[in-house]
Every structure is written in structure tokens, then in C-alpha cells.
């Protein structure tokens, strides 16, 4: 049986823990903070120092504490360890990816990102599902496959670590707009347009961050966006729905309704928009999402603005 470390808490990285359990792994869970009484997910709770005993660590700490938690993990591991994170965000202020933070705060360079259309409902039901592991190191891919691959779960490989991370983050901003369109009952044609043009914007941003354009159209990009906007949609999609039905809702009210992930979602849109502004990139969907969450435009004005842009070449 493979022993795998898991850094996170209830609600963050739940899917990864279920996948590890399906792979019959011995999961050693370290919670970076107070333990949650309701945490009944698989895994043995351990002390921070016990992470030194495993080779592979799945990192799913909240983005707000990412650097702090990474520094603590870095104090007990060495260069032989492998860290694979599941976070779909950038660090506010620095605009750094999670892999960069892990490289700065831990002694290992063998880092990866696990993302894609991994829906917890499908995993728990045993339905076929897939994800992509992005890393520059083949041994990272090997370890993740050994720990998670099964008859119902497939892991694809990518060497574009930064591109996959950016895709996962950018999809969340597009999902927010898709939620808005859903709340306004604007039809499938607009949803398809948001999906297609969202991927086009995502690819431009990925290339700007020195990732590969093709990564956008794989599981990390298109796969994540489809999962985020399918059926009930992700938390980001639900936030967009709520803003469509309740214009002007404050950030605090969104956090009260949807939990800390709502604040992370709003901060992510701000971070992406800030990075795009600095690079003078015209990313109209991202700008629309930014205007919506800051109440600079009403929901119908966001849609009107997007529909009255000058004609663009496909």
C-alpha cells in the first residue's frame, strides 16, 4: 500500500482525498489549523513532522494560507519529496502561481499540479472521470498515477505546469460570467459563446504567462470550464448566478452565503484583472467579471457591453 501525505482541510481537496482512498492509499492527513469535527473523509490524522515519512504530498491548503502552510511543510521535508497541489488560484499582490510559492517555501523542486473535470459526485458514484497532472518531472507523473489511477479514474500527463495552473484559475472567472448568464435566462447560444470566447481569452493569458496555448484546450482548461458550468456548476458559477439575481451583493454577504471560497473567487478575479492591466491585455470577459463583482456595471449592462464590442476576428 502506498503512503501519501495530504495537507488540507474539509472542503478543500476533498476530491483528491477520495481518489487516494479509491487507490487504496494509506493517507496521512495534516490539517493546517484547527481540526474540523465534521471531517469524516478518509485518512489518518498525523502531526506535521510525520509528512517526512512519505514521498508524495498532495497540497490542498486554502489559498489565503498557502504561503504560510507551504513554509511549515518546507521545514520538515527535503528535496526527495514530491508535492502536487490542487489549488486553482494565484497569490494576490504577487500574482505568483502556487507552484512558484511551493518552490520558494520548500526545499523540493519536484512539484506538480492536479486539475481538470474531477467532480466529487462522479468520483463518489464510481463514474468514469479524469484529470491532468502537470509537472516537468516524469517521476511526479509516475507517483500520481500509482496513487490515483484506477478502472474509473484516468490521469493524463502535461509538462506545462504554469499553463495548466493558469487555465484552472482563469476558468473560474469565466464560470462566474456563465452563472450570471444562467440567472438572466439568456439561453444556450450565449453560454456557448462564453465557453468558446472564454477559452480564446484564456489561451492569450496562458501564452502571456509563458504557458503553451494547446494546454487551454485540454483537461486543465476546457475540461475545468465545462465541469464548472455543468449542471449546478461550481461555487464560482453559483456566485455569478447570485449576482445576476441579487445585483450589488457585497463581498461579505457572498462569503456568508458561499463560504471562504467566495472571497477567494473575488480575489482571483481581481488578481487576474490586475495582471492583465499591467500587461495591457484586452480580455473583455475578464473585465466584465471584474466590473460585475465591484458593482461598476449592473448584470444587464455587463451583457450589453460584451454584446456591443467591435467585431472581432475568430
Q: Kindly write down the DSSP assignment for every residue of 169-219, as one continuous string.
A: HHHHHHHHHHHHHHHTT--HHHHHHHHHHHHHHHHHHHHHTT--GGGGGSI
Give pTM, 2 decimals. 0.94
> For the residues 70-76, what does the mean pLDDT come to?
97
214 close to 107: Cβ distance less than 8 angstroms: no
| Dist. CA 12–CA 49, nearest whole Å | 21
Q: Which three cell numbers stand for residue 282?
A: 484586452
- Residue 10 pLDDT grade (very low, low, confident, very high; cuts 50, 70, 90): low
Beta strand segments in the chain, E: 3-8, 26-30, 44-45, 56-60, 82-85, 111-115, 129-134, 153-158
* Dihedral sign (CA 294, 188, 242, 225): negative
Q: Exposure of 6 by Cβ count < 10 A (0-12 exposed, 13-18 middle, 19+ buried)?
A: buried
| Dist. CA 94–CA 75, nearest whole Å | 23
pLDDT confidence of residue 310:
81
Beta strand 129-134 with 111-115 is antiparallel
pLDDT confidence of residue 91:
94
Q: Which three cell numbers stand for residue 144?
A: 500520481
- Residue 4 pLDDT grade (very low, low, confident, very high; cuts 50, 70, 90): very high
pLDDT confidence of residue 126:
87
**Torsion, CA 111, CA 113, CA 114, CA 116, rounded to 10:** -160
Distance between terminal CA atoms of the chain? 50
pLDDT confidence of residue 44:
85
Cα distances (Å, whole numbers) of residue 115 to 104, 124, 131, 243: 21, 17, 6, 27
> Which string of b and e fits 97-135 if b means at least 16 CB within 10 Å?
bbbbbbbebbebebbbbbbbbbbeebbeeeeebebbbbb
- Residue 24 pLDDT grade (very low, low, confident, very high; cuts 50, 70, 90): confident
Go through the domains of the chain in sequence order and give each one's CATH number: 3-159 (3.40.50.720), 162-308 (1.10.1040.10)
3-class SS at 111?
strand
CA angle 186/192/198 to nearest 5° reads: 110
For the beta carbon of residue 179, count every other beta carbon within 10 angstroms: 25
pLDDT, one tens digit per residue, over 139-179 is 999 999 999 998 899 999 999 999 999 999 999 999 999 99
Residue 11 has pLDDT above 70, yes or no: no
pLDDT confidence of residue 38:
55
Amino acid at each position: 500500500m502506498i503512503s501519501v501525505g495530504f495537507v488540507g482541510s474539509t472542503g478543500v481537496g476533498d476530491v483528491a482525498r477520495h481518489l487516494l482512498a479509491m487507490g487504496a492509499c494509506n493517507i496521512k492527513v495534516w490539517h493546517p489549523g484547527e481540526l474540523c469535527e465534521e471531517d469524516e473523509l478518509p485518512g489518518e490524522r498525523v502531526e506535521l513532522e510525520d509528512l517526512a515519512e512519505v514521498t508524495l504530498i498532495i497540497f490542498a491548503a486554502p489559498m489565503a494560507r498557502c504561503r504560510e502552510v507551504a513554509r511549515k511543510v518546507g521545514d520538515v521535508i527535503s528535496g526527495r519529496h514530491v508535492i502536487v497541489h490542487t489549488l486553482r488560484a494565484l497569490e494576490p499582490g504577487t500574482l505568483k502561481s502556487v507552484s512558484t510559492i511551493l518552490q520558494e517555501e520548500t526545499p523540493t523542486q519536484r512539484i506538480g499540479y492536479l486539475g481538470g473535470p474531477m467532480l466529487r459526485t462522479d468520483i463518489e458514484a464510481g463514474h468514469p472521470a479524469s484529470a491532468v497532472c502537470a509537472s516537468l518531472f516524469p517521476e511526479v507523473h509516475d507517483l500520481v498515477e500509482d496513487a490515483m489511477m484506477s478502472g474509473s479514474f484516468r490521469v493524463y500527463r502535461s509538462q506545462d505546469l504554469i499553463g495548466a495552473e493558469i487555465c484552472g484559475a482563469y476558468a473560474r472567472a469565466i464560470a462566474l460570467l456563465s452563472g450570471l448568464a444562467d440567472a438572466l435566462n439568456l439561453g444556450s447560444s450565449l453560454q456557448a459563446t462564453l465557453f468558446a470566447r472564454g477559452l480564446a481569452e484564456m489561451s492569450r493569458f496562458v501564452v502571456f504567462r509563458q504557458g503553451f496555448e494547446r494546454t487551454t484546450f485540454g483537461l486543465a482548461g476546457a475540461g475545468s470550464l465545462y465541469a464548472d458550468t455543468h449542471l449546478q456548476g461550481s461555487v464560482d458559477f453559483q456566485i455569478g448566478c447570485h449576482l445576476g439575481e441579487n445585483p450589488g451583493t457585497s463581498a461579505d454577504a457572498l462569503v456568508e452565503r458561499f463560504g471562504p471560497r467566495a472571497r477567494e473567487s473575488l480575489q482571483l478575479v481581481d488578481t487576474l484583472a490586475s495582471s492583465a492591466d499591467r500587461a495591457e491585455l484586452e480580455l473583455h470577459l475578464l473585465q466584465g467579471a471584474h466590473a460585475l463583482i465591484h458593482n461598476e456595471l449592473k448584470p444587464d449592462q455587463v451583457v450589453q457591453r460584451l454584446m456591443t464590442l467591435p467585431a472581432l476576428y475568430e
